């Protein structure tokens, strides 16, 4: 079964930022956090992370495309 959600640390590694930055994006509304019903940790849908990634790509010129590889 493919993975549907990413943790704060996984998103931070993808974007090469700190987990605090990811939480700030959540607070500002750039990412929507879903809560794990067992431990109340933040989880982010892969689709939402990809949308944010495309927005960042459009905001600055890049020559390569970024893609999330989830194993």
* pLDDT at residue number 65: 66
* pLDDT at residue number 67: 73
Give the torsion sign (CA, 18, 47, 41, 28): positive
Sequence-separated (6 or more) residues with CB below 8 Å from residue 14? 6, 49, 53, 68
pLDDT along the chain (71 residues), means of 10: 90 96 94 94 95 86 67 67
* pLDDT at residue number 61: 65
Domain ranges of the chain: 5-59
| Fold topology of 5-59 | Multidrug-efflux Transporter Regulator; Chain: A; Domain 2 (1.10.1660)
């Amino acid at each position: 079964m493919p993975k549907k959600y990413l943790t704060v640390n996984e998103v931070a590694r993808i974007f090469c930022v700190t987990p605090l930055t990811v939480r700030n994006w959540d607070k500002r509304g750039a990412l929507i956090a879903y809560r794990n019903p067992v431990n109340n940790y933040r989880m982010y849908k892969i689709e939402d992370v990809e949308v944010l990634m495309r927005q960042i790509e459009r905001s600055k010129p890049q020559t390569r495309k970024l893609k999330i590889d989830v194993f």
